Amino acid sequence: MDIISLLVPEDKYALKCPHPMKPSFIVVHNTANDASAHNEISYMRTNQASTSFHYAVDDNYVVQGIPEDRNAWHAGDGPDGEGNRKGIAVEICYSLSGGERFHKAERLAAKFIAHKLSQYGWGLNQVRKHQDFSKKYCPHRTLDLGWERFLNMIREEMVERADAPEPWAEEAWNWAQSVGLMDGTRPKDPVTRQEIALIAQRMERRLRNANDT
């Protein structure tokens, strides 16, 4: 998954992300703004406020501003709060006006969060909302539209990931299907001995046909 890196300069660490962090979950936010992900991160990394967040996601891009091994100030639960000290903050853009681009941003955020859950070996219960850590009604528009609905979007993306080959295997997987060695289903299932025999036979016949022509 493509992520644009626009990290805060190290001389801003003391202000924006002073503590090393071992992340334990995702914290979902809405920006309550109509700026793009690039503009949200650019503004965050250059202003003089301590407020910070790891990622901003809009309808097209995921942009990173803080490394995942450092904390950010986003959850409103104080200097030692769990949200601020253990959460990877994900801001979903365009929540002020909503509409189509917000829906697309939510969809891309769900895809990105599914990717993070898979990377860390986490489940859906590692997806929290800002509201869980402070009284702030955030992610406001995502909550208005339904939190369970958003979790379901992440669930759908997790299923989609499970049904797709990993990026490193994608080309070979598509090739094996296109030449008829494999049927193109269940890319992550284990292989049985009889399936290996079948694949070997198909391969042998394929080579023989190639030699005949």
Residues near Zn ion, by CB under 5 A: 29, 130, 138
Minimum CB distance to Zn ion, residue 47 (Å): 17
Q: Which is nearer to Zn ion, 128 or 130 (CB)?
A: 130
Q: Which residues pair with 89 in a beta bridge?
A: 27
Smallest gap from Cβ 49 to Zn ion, in A, equals: 14
Quote the least distance from Cβ 131 to Zn ion, whole Å.
8
DSSP 70: B
How many CB atoms neighbour CB 32 within 10 A?
14
Please say which residue, 28 or 158, places its beta carbon nearer to Zn ion. Answer: 28
The minimum distance between CB 77 and Zn ion, in angstroms, equals 11
Q: Quote the least distance from Cβ 143 to Zn ion, whole Å.
A: 11
How far is CA 102 from each of CA 4, 37, 99, 147, 163, rounded to the nearest angstrom?
A: 19, 12, 5, 15, 27
In whole angstroms, what is the distance from residue 52 CA to residue 25 CA? 16
E strand residue ranges, the chain: 4-5, 25-30, 55-57, 62-64, 87-92, 127-129
Which residues have a Cβ under 8 Å from the Cβ of 61 and sit 6 or more positions away? 2, 4, 36, 37, 38, 108
Query: Quick one: 89 or 108, whose CB is closer to Zn ion?
Result: 89
Q: Which is nearer to Zn ion, 70 or 130 (CB)?
A: 130
- 3 state SS of 16: helix
Nearer to Zn ion, 12 or 74 (CB): 74
